Structure 1
């Protein structure tokens, strides 16, 4: 993974990561199928026991002080291959907790490393979910989830394990209760003949799902370079992740 500014590699048996000499990171947390059943369309489905591994606060040793000062954190996640019943392997839907230091629910910037991803997002976890988007992204592409939106990360290819990195707020926290109260987000991804199709969750008001491809977030100064390398080149570049209030005007009518 040196192409992404970090000397690390991904393992799949078992799920996890190994770090180079100049990189620090935690032992990955493993999310099992039993832990995420409440967020699935079919909670009784069959699938890999270890669904995904997540390591938060991965960094080069020389960057740690700067990251802490800027309240930024870099996380890496890798998924198992396969399916969860008729659903693709995916994360639990959640909203980010409000950070005490900013008073905002932080945004999150994804970069796909391996496999194909669908970043699903909706404006609200409420009876009316507002605008709903499914952003299909491949290796090297970036997807930005705005503050306060419910979202989930979906593997779009059951045969190729998905791996991605993400910039987050250092006071990150995941809120699951609202999503679980609706038995998931407003749209369920299903695998049919190796394609992802969508089924509306009837607990929400009917609406429209917009399928889009990633765009260039030039208004935030993001370039095509790997996102960790962008931080190395300009440590202030991702300050909008931990301080979204400083770019409040850019979040109005945001389109992913």
Structure 2
């Protein structure tokens, strides 16, 4: 006897979780579904796993974790539209291997507790089907339904509208060799549904059933996956927070309830987690998460989420989410911004007025990226709220040619490059030999500000300034600049500039961004530039035009004369605006 595990579906009902991950490789209690299946197959049976070429790399990696020999079979398909289907894959396997032995077939997305050896002991040369009493006629409609008398299947209905029983097909069966001719004839017309072939066999041959009372779950939907997770036996000690392996708990308010699985690299702070699957490298702060699947690298802060699949790499803050609604929680930025501003989602409100904004999309940014075709699920990279003011301050701002803006940059990666602004230079002031400067303030988040002087790709100076909440950074004249969000949360920053010029983007676009790219591995040189080294710097807090005590807007309104350097830069020296902390040679 050979064993064939079917693991080639695309599981669109579990998207986004299975968008980049094969369903049989999803974890239940820290172990892939397909591994649970393999562990139940007797050691003397040779195992083949049939999947599709899309997930080849993942299955090759998985195979290295299995201690017994495994044969992988890859189907050359890329989506549900051109896949062979379950019965097509079985027929193809039998034919290509000239199989002369019985075949044990198991769905790789099954999670079950019955003993496969006991199942096989009931095989007597006739097709044998594993059946499970799902106990609910409504649920039975989703599966192949068996009517059984004295262990013989007398009728089989594939996903009937009016099921006659609650016994359902588990996609665990043994095919004897004498049905192979019937199989080859059947797939000339039908290739997808295994249940349809069972229905055909019941009409043409004797088919027997093995009925189990042990738990069985079809991991084809969110509810099925979560139910399997809740009822799975705990294979790690989840009774005490301190016993979770590879998880960083901080703060004193963590509560873990029910059956929770954490993959390595997760970090949890002051949160309640109940009946959840938390994949690797997730970070959850000040949140309540119930009955959820949180995919790799997600960041969640100040959220209440119930019954959701959170996509890989998502960044979610200030929301209430369940199956019925998604509510963005408003948050007051008045203390940090100096304005009566609230943020709700990515929208800003000044008092009760929703502020207008312009956006930069992923497509807008592609000409400025290290890799123009890099994958990214973030469509809107940042929002620019131009010319923000209180009505009582408008006359003063216009008279002094000053403008206050706010920008919100999404967190995350484009490929392996952090989300950033596309970058620009300021023009020379008319009648002067210097360009207009600018001042930035970090209201929330963690920024890298890039400042560069370059001509025709030859870099004269390149400076990186770290910025965190409350920091102010002056961009001196003649420097182009880019802002990068290197944090897990949206980067909210303000800026003040003269209000009589347009920024220039051409040089950055021509050379695909700045001279260095900030990636998750670190800084990487842009090969279109000549650059020998770069400097790291911090704001010089003693610089006389830098107000470290007040939020930028309040400082501007209180003493607008101090910001004259933004309008008349030729009158001022900027050499002490930044304090260089190190110089790094580029190898």
Cα 1:224–1:172 shift into 2, 3 Å: farther
Bigger shift: 86-95 or 100-109?
100-109
Is 1:97–1:175's contact at 8 Å kept on the other side of the alignment?
yes
TM-score, L = length of structure 2: 0.40
What's 2:408 paired with? 78
What's 1:251 paired with? 574
Q: How far, CA to CA, are the matches of 1:52 and 1:231 in structure 2? A: 24
What's 1:186 paired with? 515
Is 2:539–2:577's contact at 8 Å kept on the other side of the alignment?
no
What's 1:64 paired with? 394
1:110 is aligned, of 440, 451, 459, to 440
Cα deviation for residue 105 of structure 1 reads: 2.1
Cα 1:152–1:125 shift into 2, 3 Å: farther
Residue 151 (str. 1) matches residue 481 (str. 2): yes
Residue 237 (str. 1) matches residue 562 (str. 2): yes
Is 1:25–1:58's contact at 8 Å kept on the other side of the alignment?
no
Is 1:107–1:146's contact at 8 Å kept on the other side of the alignment?
yes
What's 1:169 paired with? 498
For structure 2, the 5+ residue unaligned runs are 1-332, 580-587
Cα deviation for residue 30 of structure 1 reads: 1.2
Cα deviation for residue 10 of structure 1 reads: 2.4
Q: How far, CA to CA, are the matches of 2:431 and 2:373 in structure 1? A: 40
Describe how 1:1-256 pairs up with structure 2 within 5 A: 1-3=333-335, 4-12=337-345, 15-20=346-351, 27-47=356-376, 48-100=378-430, 104-157=434-487, 159-192=488-521, 197-216=522-541, 218-247=543-572, 250-251=573-574, 255=578
Cα 1:162–1:221 shift into 2, 3 Å: closer
For structure 1, the 5+ residue unaligned runs are none
Q: How far, CA to CA, are the matches of 1:61 and 1:101 in structure 2? A: 32
Q: How far, CA to CA, are the matches of 2:555 and 2:565 in structure 1? A: 14
Secondary structure of 2:408's match?
strand
Secondary structure of 2:395's match?
helix
Q: How far, CA to CA, are the matches of 1:223 and 1:80 in structure 2? A: 26
Cα 1:7–1:46 shift into 2, 3 Å: same
Cα deviation for residue 142 of structure 1 reads: 0.6
Q: How far, CA to CA, are the matches of 1:136 and 1:179 in structure 2? A: 21
Q: How far, CA to CA, are the matches of 1:191 and 1:56 in structure 2? A: 30
Cα 1:214–1:254 shift into 2, 3 Å: closer
Is 1:132–1:210's contact at 8 Å kept on the other side of the alignment?
yes
Is 2:540–2:578's contact at 8 Å kept on the other side of the alignment?
no
Is 1:80–1:162's contact at 8 Å kept on the other side of the alignment?
yes
Secondary structure of 2:454's match?
coil
Q: How far, CA to CA, are the matches of 2:426 and 2:541 in structure 1? A: 23
Is 2:465–2:538's contact at 8 Å kept on the other side of the alignment?
yes
Is 1:124–1:148's contact at 8 Å kept on the other side of the alignment?
no
Cα 1:209–1:228 shift into 2, 3 Å: same
Q: How far, CA to CA, are the matches of 2:501 and 2:537 in structure 1? A: 27
CA-based RMSD of the aligned residues comes to 2.1
Cα deviation for residue 85 of structure 1 reads: 1.3
Q: How far, CA to CA, are the matches of 1:76 and 1:30 in structure 2? A: 12
Cα 1:2–1:119 shift into 2, 3 Å: same
Q: How far, CA to CA, are the matches of 1:97 and 1:33 in structure 2? A: 26
Structure with bigger RCO (C-alpha 8 Å, 6+ apart): 1
Cα 1:100–1:7 shift into 2, 3 Å: farther
Q: How far, CA to CA, are the matches of 2:531 and 2:477 in structure 1? A: 23
Cα deviation digits, residues 167-188 of structure 1 (max 9, x gap): 1110242211111111221111
Q: How far, CA to CA, are the matches of 1:101 and 1:62 in structure 2? A: 33
Cα deviation for residue 217 of structure 1 reads: 5.0
Is 1:25–1:59's contact at 8 Å kept on the other side of the alignment?
no
